[in-house]
């Protein structure tokens, strides 16, 4: 459920007509709903009620400061995967003790930055990383709190580019080697083992892979405790999927996911962390675009939009499906036509949908891509020197531009010409 609904014949974001934002901000732009964001965060919080927990929002899904601050004020921690994200989390006012640092290639500079600024834990993904972190922590006279990310060799049954929990993936250390690696960690004076981490992939539409992974983590917890490690925290990753179409079967609910967590690891007495990204922000955002041209082709008509693959890359990168709806509500029973919906970028991959049935549209009409809040704006680029797409946040009847569209001068002036030219 989200807060982008038709009212009086047009699409609203909470209490603001989307067309009104478009008139002020220009298209394309991303628009997020505070109520939807908050609601999704609270669903996780409620799902883990009764268990000591921290929800560390995986901010790579959408990392605008205003989004981070909205969630931080509800009590969210942050899962960061780079020094830049760490700096953003701090800039949004998130205290270090609520930030976990994930990622397979943390640099020493990033480690130093997080240790100096405060960190809840590093989720370490390899032995060389462990050795580097030990050195950096010792050089600062500190001990770095760590979990080791284990790879449980579970098939997440999701798109290959976002599956991370099989042994062929680059993530984590094989769970079969975990006891050996934890023994090495315990012998490093700059590290303090606090728990175990696992994350098996994104856009999971079934609970079963989570169950298999968490059962393995529960067994490992007991084995590591028997080896003398103080395993007091379990980071269970993110990955719960969202519905991208209104017709397909519903992915599991956070409440059922929470139940599964309690069933599989609840008896261990560990503090639970989860790192949801997509489910928090995915359906809390839309991408609004204008139809530039309607172009008749052979056997198909092209709807050429002012949004392109540089603004929303998911269809090109993951074959992702997004519902695309007109901002003016279609009349009931309005005739539909099949369109190929494309952007202006000079690549055939700049195609959002093929033979998509849509009510008749004309030049100048606005459309909205639904479920575009996660992995949308954050993956945008300025390819074709198209200005980075702006972001807007709605809160009831108010809205604010939370990232402005850069001018051409701002874009061009980031380049410098060497003195020999």
Residue ranges binding ligand PLP (CB under 6 A):
58, 60-61, 79, 102, 199, 202-203, 237-239, 275-279, 374
The span from the CA of 204 to the CA of 282, in Å, is 13
| Min dist. Cβ of residue 194 to ligand PLP (A) | 16
CB of 44 or CB of 369, closer to ligand PLP = 44
| Min dist. Cβ of residue 81 to ligand PLP (A) | 6
Q: Is the peptide bond before 326 cis (omega within 30 degrees of 0)?
A: no
CB of 16 or CB of 312, closer to ligand PLP = 312
Going through 244-374 in order, the beta strands assigned E by DSSP cover: 271-274, 285-296, 301-305, 324-326, 336-342, 351-359, 366-369
| Min dist. Cβ of residue 162 to ligand PLP (A) | 7
The span from the CA of 379 to the CA of 358, in Å, is 27
Rounded to 10 deg, the angle between the 108-117 and 83-91 helix axes is: 20
CB of 239 or CB of 376, closer to ligand PLP = 239
Candidate list 31, 56, 270, 346, residue with the active-site label:
346
| Min dist. Cβ of residue 46 to ligand PLP (A) | 17
Nearest residue to 77 (alpha-carbon basis) of 259, 278, 273, 284? 273
CB of 190 or CB of 276, closer to ligand PLP = 276
* Residue 47 dihedral angles phi and psi, to the nearest 5°: -65, -25
Per-residue buried b or exposed e for 74-111, using 16+ beta carbons within 10 Å of the residue's own CB: eebbbbbbbbebbebbbebebeeebbbbbbbebeeebb
The span from the CA of 366 to the CA of 359, in Å, is 12
CB of 238 or CB of 315, closer to ligand PLP = 238
The span from the CA of 225 to the CA of 233, in Å, is 12
| Min dist. Cβ of residue 202 to ligand PLP (A) | 3
Q: Is 346 a catalytic residue?
A: yes
What is the set of active-site residues?
346
């Amino acid at each position: 459920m989200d807060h982008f609904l038709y009212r009086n014949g047009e699409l609203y974001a909470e209490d603001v007509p989307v067309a009104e934002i478009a008139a002020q901000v220009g298209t394309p732009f991303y628009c997020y709903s505070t109520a939807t964001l908050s609601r999704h965060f609270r669903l996780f919080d409620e799902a883990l009620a009764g268990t000591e927990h921290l929800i560390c929002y995986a901010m790579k899904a959408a990392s605008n400061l205003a989004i981070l601050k909205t969630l931080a004020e509800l009590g969210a921690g942050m899962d960061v995967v780079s020094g830049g994200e760490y700096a953003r989390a701090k800039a949004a006012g998130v205290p270090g003790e609520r930030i976990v640092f994930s990622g397979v290639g943390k640099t020493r500079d990033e480690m130093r930055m997080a240790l100096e600024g405060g960190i809840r834990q590093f989720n370490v993904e390899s032995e060389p990383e462990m050795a580097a972190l030990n050195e950096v922590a010792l050089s600062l006279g500190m001990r770095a709190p760590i979990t080791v990310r284990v790879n449980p060799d579970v098939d997440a049954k999701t798109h290959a580019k976002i599956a991370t929990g099989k042994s062929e993936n680059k993530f984590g250390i094989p769970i079969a080697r975990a006891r050996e690696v934890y023994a090495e960690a315990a012998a490093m004076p700059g590290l303090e083992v606090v728990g175990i981490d696992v994350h098996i992939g994104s856009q999971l539409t079934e609970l079963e892979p989570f169950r298999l992974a968490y059962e393995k983590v529960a067994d490992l917890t007991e084995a590591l405790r028997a080896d003398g490690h103080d395993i007091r925290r379990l980071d269970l990753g993110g990955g719960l999927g969202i519905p991208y179409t209104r017709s397909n079967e519903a992915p599991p609910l956070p409440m059922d996911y929470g139940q599964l967590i309690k069933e599989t690891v609840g008896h261990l007495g560990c503090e639970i962390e989860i790192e949801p990204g997509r489910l928090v922000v995915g359906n809390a955002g839309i991408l609004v675009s204008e139809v530039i041209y309607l172009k008749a082709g052979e056997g198909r008509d092209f709807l050429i939009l002012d949004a392109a693959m540089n603004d929303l890359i998911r269809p090109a990168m993951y074959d992702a499906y997004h519902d695309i709806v007109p901002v003016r509500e279609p009349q009931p029973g309005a005739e539909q036509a099949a369109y190929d919906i494309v952007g202006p970028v000079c690549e055939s991959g700049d195609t959002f949908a093929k033979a998509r049935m849509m009510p008749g549209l004309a030049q100048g009409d606005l459309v909205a891509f639904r479920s575009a809040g996660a992995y949308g704006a954050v993956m945008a680029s300025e390819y074709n020197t198209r200005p980075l797409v702006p972001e807007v946040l709605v809160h009831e009847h108010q809205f604010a531009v939370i990232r402005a569209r850069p001018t051409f001068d701002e874009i061009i002036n980031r380049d410098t010409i060497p003195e020999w030219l």
